[in-house]
Structure formats: structure tokens, C-alpha cells
Amino acid sequence: MAVPETVATGLAGMVFGLALAAPPGPMNAVIAEESVVRGFRPGVIAGCGAMVADATFFALAALGVVSIVREVTYLQGAMVAVGGLLMLYFAVDAVRELDQTFTDFDDGAPGSDARGFRRAFLLALTNPYQIVFWVTVGVGLLTPGTVDVFSHTPYVGDTLAGVLVVHTGDPALIVGLFGGIVLWIVGFPATLVGAGRRIDRFAPVVAALSAVFLAAFGVLFLSDALATFDIL
């Protein structure tokens, strides 16, 4: 029996959401750090910060506001510069947590939820990958047409182009997309915490990797911003 088109579109959207959320990057570095240093719930809530930023971009795309960022090059450059500075700041913060282990964290400690949510939300709002996605593909999701799902996945898009093409303009696609993001922001922290409780030294290793990722992306984003302003 053929799968109903709405179900197929929703499943495709879920794959889309997972493909966007899963690649290594600054948001996953923050989620990983929050998960292994503070526990499962802070890790999930940090992921919610990134997802709320996506929802904000989606709402702005629906209202046509996002197109302003696409048209004003210096505005986009300024946002990228702010993102780079934030990443460098959070990288230093991650270094301060290198002495933490899983036996140290208090899952749900006061203030920890808001901290992770705020960090991921601010980074997502100034992440050029997410900005570019929502001013291009994100706007296209709202109008009837087609989208090549994997071609927009960071790092591997060229290799996977044409593998999954779905119809846009269907609410099921948007619901599926955010459903895929939810799967990732719950499953990723759960996996890290499950591994970390068995390997206590896993926490400082993840914190160190988080610092490296954030610092590297911070330098990259600042370089892009300087190039936008013709400084480099």
C-alpha cells in the first residue's frame, strides 16, 4: 500500500531536520558540553535554545523580514562578527570546565537550564549557516515547489545532492522538520550522558572538544565578517 503523501512529506521533513541538526558545529558543541557537565535536562534545554532560534527565523521568513538580511550585506556581516565573538567567549568558558566530571554535575542545578538555553540561542541567532539557510531554503519551504533536502546539509551537501527531493509549501514538511530537530536535541544528550556515566573522564574530553570547536568557528566567522567589510 502506498504511503500517503502527507505522511511521506512529514517523514522527509524529519530527515531534513535531522540532517540540519546533526552535523558537528557550534550548537552541537554547546549541547555536548551542557550534557556532559550538567546532565541530560540541561543538554536538551540547550538544544531547545537552538531550535527556538530556528523557529524565530522561520517566523521572520514567513513575515518576509529575513529577506532584509539577505539584501543588506553589512548587516549580515555584523551578525556574523557578533557570532564569532560569542563563540570565542564561550570557548573560554568551556576551558574553565575541563576539571568537571560526571560525578560532579547536578542534573537540573539552579540556573544551569537558562545558561545553556541562552548560549545556544544567541549562537544560533548569529550563526551564518542558519542565517543563510533561512534566507534561502527556509523561505522556499513556505512556497509551493521542490527542495533538494541533503544538498543543503553542511559539509556533505555536494555529495548527497539529488538523493531526497521533496515538495514544499506543505505544513507537514515544516512539522516534520522541527520533529527531526526534536529527535536530535533529545537523542544526542541522552547518548552522551549514557556514555559519560560509564566513562567519567568523558566529560572533560567533551568540554575540551567543545572549546576547540567553538574557538575554531569563532575565528572562521570573524574572518568571514572582516572579509565582508573588506578588512581582509
Tell me what pLDDT residue 145 has. 73
pLDDT exceeds cutoff 70 at 195? yes
**232 domain-assigned:** no
* Residue ranges making up the domain that contains 20: 5-227
Summarised one tens digit per residue, pLDDT across range 212-224 is 777 876 787 678 7
- Spatial separation of the C-alpha atoms in residues 219 and 43, rounded to whole Å: 25
Percent of the chain with pLDDT over 90: 10
**202 domain-assigned:** yes
144 vs 149, more confident:
144
| Range ranked top by mean pLDDT from 93-107, 137-151, 176-190 | 176-190
- Spatial separation of the C-alpha atoms in residues 22 and 28, rounded to whole Å: 8
Three cell numbers, residue 3: 504511503
Summarised one tens digit per residue, pLDDT across range 131-144 is 767 776 676 677 67
Rounded alpha-carbon distances, angstroms, from residue 101 to 10, 36, 198, 215: 39, 8, 11, 22
Tell me what pLDDT residue 4 has. 64
Summarised one tens digit per residue, pLDDT across range 44-91 is 999 999 999 989 988 887 787 766 666 667 776 776 677 677 768 777
**84 domain-assigned:** yes
CA 159, 164, 167, 171 torsion: positive or negative?
negative
**170 domain-assigned:** yes
**11 domain-assigned:** yes
Number of domains in the chain: 1
